[in-house]
């Protein structure tokens, strides 16, 4: 038992590497924060977006963040409820990613607002008919459920570590004590946690489907070519699973390496996650074919312009890199067992994740670049969208925030559930030296 | 002077400007002058017939005009002028359904309408509530110039998506924007198939000069950084019984504007008033992209029997200011 | 080459047609003699220039610059002798009545404004001398009084014109009557002008589908068609309840996706509220029950 505790918790300390990494993040954060202050002072004009192409990096990034956060639901709820035992060590990683991305997604949308100080109006004057109200509602809900899904299984862990992990930093002890809610492995307590988890795992499925479906509706509820699609909901959800699975694989790789968890995050886990990624990527591919072939066959005027711009026009290079390099080739590679080993799978996941980001860009920007009526008598930067440095910095700001949240959660709490792992092996977490 | 204090307070604290209590309190401050502006604004030509009490006060208005206001009305309107205009702007003019007819056969791309519009709404040269586009429906058909403004749809997709009721449709058909409410999410821009909306990415034109002026929602002036703007069918002019800025500025008789309920539209150039139904019927009028179900309130008369040869627009795109 | 030929041919044909359709723009003799009753002043010229730039320049161009629009029939540069040799009355008549494609400025420019435009144009016409206004005193016209009734049986608006002579009122025969309806932005002419009959009456068909206000009231007017103002302006206004009662609801009356929050579709309010209540009921229930866990230990210990 001590072995497990030590293995899974030894990284919970303030070491030099952590300070270096956090220092770097903090500096980068401040630099990018300056960019946002500029935007607050001078308006959204510091970004490259203008009339016509009025949504750009920020909204693409928002969609990407919502997408990435969706994985928490897939791993914990779907795979967990089916009863797949191997996902158990990954659940907390998935939930951490879900919480981090969902929290920051809310901030990303504020970054895109022309009048962020009026954020409260969204609740004060909320219109039931606006998808933005639905989106704000479901993202908040999903965030809270994910936070609970992250927190509940951690209660026993914190109680155990508080009592039995000698190296727990002193300043963390009171935090652990409060958050462990007097857990003593009492059957009644376990029953409450178990029942709550069960309800949450069921609740999170509609909540998760909603956040990404509603996010897709921000586009699909308009009449514009490229957005005016009935399959946008499932198209986005399947795409989200691809992005999220890739993110989880990358996180698994880093935790395994940095926190020395090779015994707990084994090649089997990577292999299985690789299989999950291939499966969701196939589903996504299927929706992609639907999304492009159906309008491409009929070539209605506006659709034809849109598809031409994507496939052979201004956005062609990005489009084919994303579709072939970021979807088709990864699928083909991951069919081989060799490619599902940790390192190659992680590299593939990095490519998939980057492609997933650009895919969101390709969903948001090209449609706006080609409205129904011609763009005339405006400056050139109204016609062609070029993100500015400030805009890129603000976008990076959101990524830095995600990294900070993931780092803090994973650094100060066990990445892999301690008590669950112990109970899996038939050990009593509160008593020592039974094995 | 008092008026400026009122407005400055409002400006500095937008989150509070909407709270009734707050406004009631500051409404007392500078009541006289504020009310003067309000009374002028309300300039309801119809209500002015009311019998006066005989007592009246001379007041200095926002635009430095001396006006005489009946002292009875003073009390009734002792409120913050911005607030007053916002309330009034939410109600349409009763019994009216504004409609615009644009005769493409007469448009020669003089762009006077645009100039008048940009002047009235304090817009930069690259910001259009109204833009004249050079159109060609298909390679075989003739090119023509098409003024394009907000279509004030009866099923407005932009209004449907607004999260905060900042853009709204009134009973008289006009789709307006309350830039004291707008959060700048630009969802309405994405939803509008006519690209009719613009956004203030940078400080609006002469924003320093207009800082502190009472906000007139029916003119959307002063414009505000980080909010949306668009064609308003000159709601302020409609209230006064005058034709919209663009309509009266056209030198070529392109625009007709009027009330669908009266079945009449008036040409802005010739001032000739004709029956709407007859004009639409005789000229084979159509609407922009009716297949989208937006039900526009703007009709177009096709560019047939033109009295002049088509001259392509010189694309002198304005620089971003 | 061939294309050019066709274009030229087309232009030629158009010119021919325009020529054929344009048998000249004849000004009635009695209008030619009309003159301005005041001396042109520099102020007047200045006002005229501003009005010209606003109303005329888009077709006629800036005088002497010959940058007039390429329209058929050609508007021409008004500084040229073609305009310069015309009498004041001729110019005034043309501005007043217009002729397609030139708009009629009767309702756009007041009489004084029309004269000021002419005073501006005259600055380009060498050798022009303004006729002496003193001489023009006698052209004061007749005095006419109008009255208006609605003939229910014949569905006609009947306008009666009476000339007030020294001997007393006499039915005015042959006075051209215009009937108009008041609309929000201006008066709508009901039909072409009609001369009064022997008995001084002119009848106008009243369209039965013409919208009035809520109770069907319409404000109507009649005047004598008198482009030059040589007759004393004779006009009558009346409110008649002969229109179609029009009481259309405000466009915002129904619940719709685009309405304000208060008028959102009922199913949407219900769905949203119910979904939020149900989900958050469970979330709050879970949070509370988890927080309750803290007490369990104490119970066990005591």
C256 contact residues in B (CB cutoff 8 A): 155
Q: Give C257's contacts in chain B (Cβ within 8 Å).
A: 160
Q: Based on the fold, state whether residues C233 and C175 are members of the same structural domain.
A: yes
C46, C76: one domain: yes
Q: Is residue C268 one of the residues assigned to a domain?
A: no
Residue range(s) defining the domain that contains residue C154: 144-240
| Same-domain check for residues C235 and C162 | yes
Contacts B161 to A, Cβ<8 Å: 129-132, 221-222
What are the structural domains, with CATH classification, of chain A? 2-424 (1.20.1630.10)
Residue C222 pairs in a beta bridge with C179, C236
Q: What is the pLDDT of residues A17-41, one digit of tens each?
A: 899 999 999 999 999 999 999 999 9
When divided into structural domains, chain C yields a total of 2
Given C217, C240, C263, which residue is the final one in a domain?
C240
For chain A, the maximum distance between any two Cα atoms, rounded to a whole number of angstroms, is 80
| pTM to 2 decimal places | 0.82
- What's the complex ipTM? 0.91
User: CB-CB: which of C260, C279, C292 is closest to A207?
Assistant: C279
| Backbone φ, ψ for residue C130 (5° rounding) | -70, 130
C208 inside domain: yes
State how far the Cα of C163 lies from the Cα of C171, in Å rounded to an integer.
6
Q: What angle do CA A52, A58, A63 make, to 5 degrees?
A: 105
Structural domain contains residue C249: no
Are the Cβ atoms of A128 and C261 closer than 8 angstroms?
Answer: yes
Q: For the packed helices A91-111 and A389-412, what is the interaxial angle rounded to 10 degrees? A: 150
Which of chain B's residues have a Cβ under 8 Å away from the Cβ of C259? 169
| Contacting residues of A for C289, CB less than 8 Å apart | 192, 195-196
Instruction: Name the neighbours of A, counting chains with at least 3 Cβ pairs within 8 A.
Output: B, C
In this structure, is residue C35 part of a structural domain? Answer: yes
Q: pLDDT per position in chain B (321 positions), as tens?
A: 344 443 443 444 444 444 444 444 444 444 444 444 444 444 443 344 444 445 565 655 545 455 666 555 555 555 688 888 888 899 889 999 999 999 999 999 999 999 999 999 999 999 999 999 999 999 999 999 999 999 999 999 999 999 999 999 999 999 999 999 999 999 999 999 999 999 999 999 998 898 888 999 999 989 999 999 999 999 999 999 999 999 999 999 999 999 999 999 999 998 999 999 999 999 999 999 999 999 999 999 999 988 888 999 886 778 887
**Which of B17, B190, B287 is the best substitution to test chain A (most A C-beta atoms within 10 A)?**
B190
* DSSP bridge partners of C202: C159
Residue of chain A nearest B185, judged by CA positions:
A113
B296 Cα distance to chain centroid: 16
Give a yes or no: residue C258 inside a domain. Answer: no
Distance CA(C28)–CA(A198), nearest Å, equals 97
- Check CB contact under 8 Å for C300 and A186: yes
The predicted model gives C120-146 an average pLDDT of 73
Long-range own/partner contacts, residues B285-292 (CB < 8 A, 24 or more apart): B285/B101, B287/B151, B288/A373, B288/B148, B288/B151, B288/B194, B289/A372, B289/B193, B289/B194, B292/A223, B292/B157, B292/B193
- The Cα–Cα gap between C160 and A123 comes to 66
Contact assignment for B160 to A129 by CB distance below 8 Å: yes
Residue C288 lies in a domain: no
Asked if residue C130 lies in contact with residue C146, where contact means CB atoms within 8 angstroms, the answer is no
C106 with C79, same domain? yes
How sure is the predictor about A104, in pLDDT bands with cuts at 50, 70 and 90? very high
Residue of chain C whose alpha carbon sits nearest to that of A206: C279
Q: Which of A16-25, C86-95, C100-109 has the highest mean pLDDT?
A: A16-25
Domains and CATH numbers, chain B: 2-90 (no CATH), 98-301 (3.30.70.20)
Interchain proximity B271–C186, CB inside 8 Å:
yes
Query: Are the Cβ atoms of C55 and B251 closer than 8 angstroms?
Result: yes
- Nearest CB among A125, A129, A141 relative to C279 is that of A141
Same domain? C103 vs C191? no
Q: Give me the residue label for tokens 């699973």.
A: A241
Closest to B184 in 3D by CA, of A216, A32, A119, A46 = A119
d(CA A126, CA B170): 19
> Distance from first CA to last CA of chain B, Å, rounded?
31
Judge residue A342's burial from the number of C-beta atoms within 10 Å of its C-beta, 0-12 exposed, 13-18 middle, 19 or more buried.
Answer: buried
In this structure, the answer to whether residues C148 and C117 fall within a common structural domain is no
CATH number of the domain encompassing residue C164: 2.60.40.10
| Secondary structure E strands in chain C | 144-151, 156-165, 168-171, 176-183, 186-189, 194-195, 201-205, 218-224, 235-240
Task: For residue C252, give the H/E element and its range.
Answer: none
Q: Which of A127, A128, A199 to mutate against chain C (most C CBs within 10 Å)?
A: A128
Please report whether residue C281 resides in a domain: no
Does C163 share its domain with C87? no
pLDDT tens string B44-93: 433 444 444 455 656 555 454 556 665 555 555 556 888 888 888 998 89
Asked if B131 lies within 8 A of A42 by C-beta distance, the reply is: no
Cis, bond preceding A179 (omega within 30 deg of 0): no
- Contact between B183 and A119 using a beta-carbon 8 Å cutoff: yes
Mutate to test the interface with C, among A140, A159, A182 (most CBs of C within 10 A): A182
- Is the CB of C256 less than 8 angstroms away from the CB of B155? yes
Q: What is the CATH number of the domain that holds C53?
A: 1.10.760.10
Query: Is residue C42 located within the same domain as residue C120?
Result: yes
CB contact under 8 A, B171 and C103: no
From chain B, the residues in CB contact with A121 under 8 A are 164, 166, 181, 183
Min distance C101 CA to chain A CA atoms (Å) = 28
A contacts of B128 (beta carbons < 8 Å): 377-378
Looking at residue A168, what DSSP letter applies?
S
Domain check: are C31 and C114 in the same one? yes
User: Could you tell me if C157 and C85 lie in one domain?
Assistant: no
């Amino acid at each position: 038992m001590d072995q497990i505790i030590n293995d899974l918790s030894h990284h919970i300390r303030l070491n030099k590497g952590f300070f270096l990494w956090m220092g770097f993040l903090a500096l980068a954060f401040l630099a990018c924060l300056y960019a946002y202050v500029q935007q607050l002072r001078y308006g959204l004009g510091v970004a490259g977006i203008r009339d016509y192409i009025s949504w750009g990096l920020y909204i693409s990034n928002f969609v990407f963040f919502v997408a990435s956060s969706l994985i928490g639901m897939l791993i914990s709820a779907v795979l967990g409820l089916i009863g797949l035992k191997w996902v158990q060590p990954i659940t907390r990683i998935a939930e951490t990613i879900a919480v981090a991305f969902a929290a920051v997604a809310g901030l990303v949308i504020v970054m895109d607002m022309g009048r962020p100080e009026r954020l409260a109006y969204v609740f004060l004057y909320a219109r039931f008919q606006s998808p933005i109200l639905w989106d704000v509602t479901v993202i908040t809900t999903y965030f809270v459920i994910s936070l609970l899904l992250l927190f509940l299984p951690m209660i026993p862990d914190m109680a155990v570590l508080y009592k039995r992990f000698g190296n727990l930093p002193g300043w963390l002890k009171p935090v652990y004590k409060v958050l462990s809610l007097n857990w003593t492995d009492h059957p009644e307590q376990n029953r409450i946690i178990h029942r709550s988890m069960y309800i949450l795992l069921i609740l999170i499925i509609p909540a998760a489907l909603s956040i990404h479906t509603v996010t897709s509706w921000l586009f699909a509820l308009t009449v514009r070519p490229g957005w005016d699609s009935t399959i946008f909901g499932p198209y986005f959800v399947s795409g989200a699973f691809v992005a999220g699975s890739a993110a989880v694989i990358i996180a698994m790789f880093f935790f395994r390496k940095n926190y020395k968890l090779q015994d707990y995050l084994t090649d089997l886990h990577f292999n299985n996650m690789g299989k999950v990624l291939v499966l969701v990527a196939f589903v996504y591919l299927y929706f992609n074919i639907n999304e492009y072939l159906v309008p491409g066959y009929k070539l209605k005027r506006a659709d034809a312009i849109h598809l031409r711009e994507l496939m052979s026009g201004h956005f062609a290079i990005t489009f084919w890199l994303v579709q072939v390099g970021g979807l088709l080739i990864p699928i083909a590679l991951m069919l081989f067992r060799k490619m599902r080993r940790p390192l190659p799978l992680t590299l593939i996941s990095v490519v998939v994740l980057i492609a997933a980001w650009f895919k969101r860009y390709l969903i948001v920007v090209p449609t706006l670049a080609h409205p129904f009526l011609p763009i005339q008598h405006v400056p050139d930067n109204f016609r062609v969208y070029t993100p500015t440095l400030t805009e890129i910095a603000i976008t990076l700001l959101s990524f830095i925030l995600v990294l900070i949240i993931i780092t803090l959660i994973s650094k100060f709490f066990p990445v892999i559930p301690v008590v669950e792992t112990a109970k899996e092996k038939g050990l009593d977490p509160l008593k020592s030296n039974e094995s | 002077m008092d008026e400026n204090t009122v407005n400055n307070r409002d400006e500095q604290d937008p989150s509070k400007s909407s709270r009734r209590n707050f406004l009631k309190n500051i409404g007392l401050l500078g009541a006289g002058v504020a009310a003067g502006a309000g009374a002028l604004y309300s300039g309801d030509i119809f209500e002015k017939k009311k019998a006066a009490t005989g007592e009246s006060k001379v007041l200095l208005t926002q635009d430095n005009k001396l006006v005489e206001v009946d002292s009875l009305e003073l009390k009734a309107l002792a409120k913050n002028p911005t607030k007053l205009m916002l309330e009034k702007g939410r109600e349409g003019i009763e019994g009216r359904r504004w409609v615009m007819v644009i005769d493409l056969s007469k448009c020669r791309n003089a762009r006077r309408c645009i100039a008048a519009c940009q002047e009235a709404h304090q817009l930069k040269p690259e910001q259009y509530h109204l833009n004249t586009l050079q159109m060609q429906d298909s390679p075989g058909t003739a090119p023509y110039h098409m003024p394009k403004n907000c279509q004030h749809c009866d099923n407005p997709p932009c209004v449907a998506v607004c999260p905060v009721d900042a853009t709204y449709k009134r009973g008289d058909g006009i789709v307006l924007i309350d830039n004291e409410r707008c959060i700048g999410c630009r969802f309405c821009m994405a939803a509008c198939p006519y690209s009719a909306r613009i956004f203030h990415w940078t400080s609006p034109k002469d924003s320093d000069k207009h800082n502190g002026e009472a906000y007139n929602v029916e003119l959307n002036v002063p414009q505000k950084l980080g909010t949306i703007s668009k064609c308003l069918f000159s709601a302020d002019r409609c209230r006064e019984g005058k034709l919209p800025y663009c309509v009266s500025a056209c030198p070529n008789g392109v625009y007709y504007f009027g009330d669908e309920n009266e079945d009449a539209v008036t040409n802005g150039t010739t001032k000739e008033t004709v029956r709407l139904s007859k004009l639409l019927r005789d000229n084979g009028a159509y609407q922009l992209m009716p297949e989208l179900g937006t039900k526009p309130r703007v009709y177009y008369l096709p560019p047939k029997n033109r009295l002049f040869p088509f001259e392509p627009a010189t694309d002198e795109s304005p620089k971003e200011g | 080459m061939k294309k050019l030929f066709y274009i030229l041919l087309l232009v030629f044909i158009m010119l021919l047609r325009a020529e054929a359709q344009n048998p000249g723009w004849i000004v009635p003799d009695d209008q030619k003699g009309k003159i301005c009753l005041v001396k042109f002043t520099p102020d007047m010229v200045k006002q005229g220039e501003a009005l010209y730039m606003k109303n005329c320049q888009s077709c006629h161009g800036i005088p002497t610059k010959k940058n007039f629009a390429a329209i058929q029939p050609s508007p021409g540069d008004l500084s040229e002798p073609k305009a310069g040799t015309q009498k004041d009355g001729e110019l005034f008549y043309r501005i007043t009545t217009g002729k397609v494609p030139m708009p009629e400025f009767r309702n756009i420019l007041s009489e004084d404004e029309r004269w000021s435009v002419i005073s501006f144009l005259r600055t380009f016409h060498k050798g022009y001398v303004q006729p002496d206004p003193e001489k023009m005193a006698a052209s004061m016209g007749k005095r006419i009084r109008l009255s208006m009734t609605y003939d229910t049986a014949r569905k006609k608006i009947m306008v009666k014109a009476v000339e007030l002579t020294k001997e007393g009122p006499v039915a005015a025969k042959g006075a051209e009557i215009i009937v108009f309806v008041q609309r929000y932005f201006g008066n709508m002419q009901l039909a072409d002008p009609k001369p009064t009959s022997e008995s001084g009456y002119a009848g106008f068909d009243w369209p039965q589908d013409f919208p009035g206000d809520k109770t069907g009231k319409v404000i109507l007017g009649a005047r004598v068609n008198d482009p030059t103002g040589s007759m004393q302006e004779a006009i009558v206004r009346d409110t008649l309840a002969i229109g179609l009662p029009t009481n259309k609801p405000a466009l915002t009356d129904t619940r719709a996706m685009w309405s304000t929050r208060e008028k959102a579709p009922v199913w949407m309010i219900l769905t949203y509220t119910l979904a939020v209540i149900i989900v958050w009921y469970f979330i709050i229930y879970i949070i509370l029950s988890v927080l309750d866990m803290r007490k369990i230990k104490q119970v066990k210990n005591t």
